[in-house]
């Protein structure tokens, strides 16, 4: 089966928002064996949308629409699709009840056009919207399956996971279910990861294996189709074991987690606290860690030691060290980590010192970064040579710091 995704909304064509829905749906469809051949973006225009639908009908088994289900006049998707396939529009009573309850709950008057959001195409399977108002819907007409989903990603993604994916899967007339597992990696690029797993990717049947590059990390999505959950989990376990035997050194977590969240969880699990001394990162590590709920139990504090005076006066870096090896050095990184832990009475200290650019510092090239980690009486340093602009170097420094920290925390756990 092949699919086409039609995103509806003039704001997409104007560049006001990115079409992340198509990216998400394509990834989800690939995991269940449905190929996406075309992405189409259409403005809020009935004639052009009609043309797009008629074109898609000639080349796709499945047409998935995103957006245009709202209450305003320019929300044309339902009415246009219904007109093309020759079906009527009707009110879904449960969706209307939910919309009315929302307005009553918030003591707001419900305007007549909000009732429009409860409209669905006659004969559709309705996907109730648990994160918004307009329901999604799906139906089959003359060998083509149509899905209409809301535009906001916070509504679309959970609806796709809970309803749309299973609806599509059921179209195969198969009693099996889909089980997925996402593995997350850092410190290895997508191309290298794919090279390490090339034979597994080439030979995949069931389970399937799909790599995907993120902003800073790489994920692997393992998907198996089976009518028995226990057997499905065994297949996923076996494939994961093969994968981890090759690239497990870069693995940091499962699912939708982030590496910072994993650091926070590991600190909590080990009953440890942490403090940070940040030079080139300017407090970015501290911000990322304190963005995680519950960090107040783990994070004792930080010192943004951007100048040498602060490094000397607050964190007691000797002038002799600065004169002999400089602040952009492994020795300074270790001592910063040790001293910030002592200063704040934390179990662990982490430090970041280096050159974010745009010019060399102490004869060190832009992108030279030292991360120091002190656990107990032991201090270590990790050297990085990063590329990119100032912002990219800072972000990657924090990510690498979290990755090295996670490894050290797991050693403490053992």
Return the domain boundaries, the chain.
Answer: 2-170, 177-254, 259-413
Whole-model pTM: value is: 0.74
Average pLDDT of the chain, as a whole number: 94
Question: What is the CATH architecture assignment of 177-254?
Answer: 2-Layer Sandwich (3.30)
CATH numeric code, 2-170: 3.40.980.10
Residue 324 has pLDDT above 70, yes or no: yes
pLDDT, tens digit (0-9, with 9 covering 90-100), for 85-129: 999 999 999 999 999 999 999 899 999 899 999 999 999 999 999
**Matching fold, domains 2-170 and 177-254:** no
Q: What burial letters (b/e) apply to 19-53, b meaning 16+ CB within 10 Å?
A: bebbebbbebbbbbebebeeebbbebeeeebbebb
CA angle (21 as vertex; 20, 26 as ends), nearest 5: 100
Share of the chain above pLDDT 70, in %: 98
pLDDT of 213: 81
Classify residue 356 as exposed, middle or buried by CB count within 10 Å of its CB (0-12, 13-18, 19+): buried
Q: Which fold has domain 259-413?
A: Maf protein (3.90.950)
CA-to-CA separations, 395 to 151, 217, 280, 306, 358, in angstroms, rounded:
30, 12, 10, 16, 15
- Bond into 409 cis (ω within 30): no
Share of the chain above pLDDT 90, in %: 83
pLDDT, tens digit (0-9, with 9 covering 90-100), for 49-66: 999 999 999 999 999 999
- Quickly state the pLDDT bin for 31 (edges 50, 70, 90): confident
């Amino acid at each position: 089966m092949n699919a086409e995704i039609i995103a509806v909304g003039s704001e997409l064509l104007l560049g006001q928002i990115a079409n992340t829905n198509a990216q998400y749906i394509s990834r989800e469809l690939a995991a269940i064996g449905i190929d996406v051949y075309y992405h189409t973006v259409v403005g809020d225009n009935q004639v052009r949308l009609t043309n797009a639908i008629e074109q898609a009908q000639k080349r796709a088994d499945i047409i998935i629409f995103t957006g245009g289900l709202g209450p305003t006049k320019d929300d044309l998707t339902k009415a246009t699709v219904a007109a093309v396939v020759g079906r009527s529009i009707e009110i879904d009573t449960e969706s209307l009840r939910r919309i009315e309850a929302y307005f009553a709950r918030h003591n707001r008057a419900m305007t007549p056009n909000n009732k429009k959001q409860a409209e669905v195409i006659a004969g559709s399977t309705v996907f109730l919207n648990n994160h918004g108002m307009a329901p999604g819907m799906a139906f089959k007409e003359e060998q083509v399956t149509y899905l209409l989903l809301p535009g906001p990603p916070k509504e679309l993604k959970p609806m796709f996971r809970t309803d749309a994916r299973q609806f599509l899967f059921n179209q195969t007339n198969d009693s099996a279910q889909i089980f997925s597992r996402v593995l997350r990696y850092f410190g290895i690029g997508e191309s290298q990861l794919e090279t390490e797993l090339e034979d597994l990717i080439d030979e995949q049947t069931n389970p399937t294996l799909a790599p995907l590059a993120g902003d800073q990390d790489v994920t692997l999505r393992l998907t198996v189709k089976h009518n028995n959950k226990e057997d499905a989990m065994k297949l996923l376990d076996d494939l994961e074991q093969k994968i981890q035997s090759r690239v497990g050194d870069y693995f940091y977590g499962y699912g939708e987690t982030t590496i910072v969240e994993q650091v926070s969880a590991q600190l909590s699990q080990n009953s440890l606290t942490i403090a940070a001394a940040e030079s080139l990162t300017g407090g970015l590590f501290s911000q990322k860690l304190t963005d995680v709920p519950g960090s107040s139990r783990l994070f004792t504090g930080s010192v943004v030691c951007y100048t040498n005076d602060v490094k000397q006066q607050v964190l007691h870096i000797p002038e002799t060290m600065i004169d002999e090896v400089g602040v952009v050095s492994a020795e300074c990184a270790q001592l910063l980590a040790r001293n910030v832990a002592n200063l704040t009475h934390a179990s662990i200290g982490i430090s970041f010192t280096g050159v974010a650019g745009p010019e060399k510092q102490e004869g060190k090239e832009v992108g030279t970064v030292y991360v120091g980690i002190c656990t107990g009486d032991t201090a270590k340093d990790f050297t990085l040579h990063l590329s990119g602009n100032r912002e990219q170097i800072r972000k990657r420094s924090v990510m690498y710091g979290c990755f090295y920290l996670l490894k050290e925390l797991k050693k403490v756990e053992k």
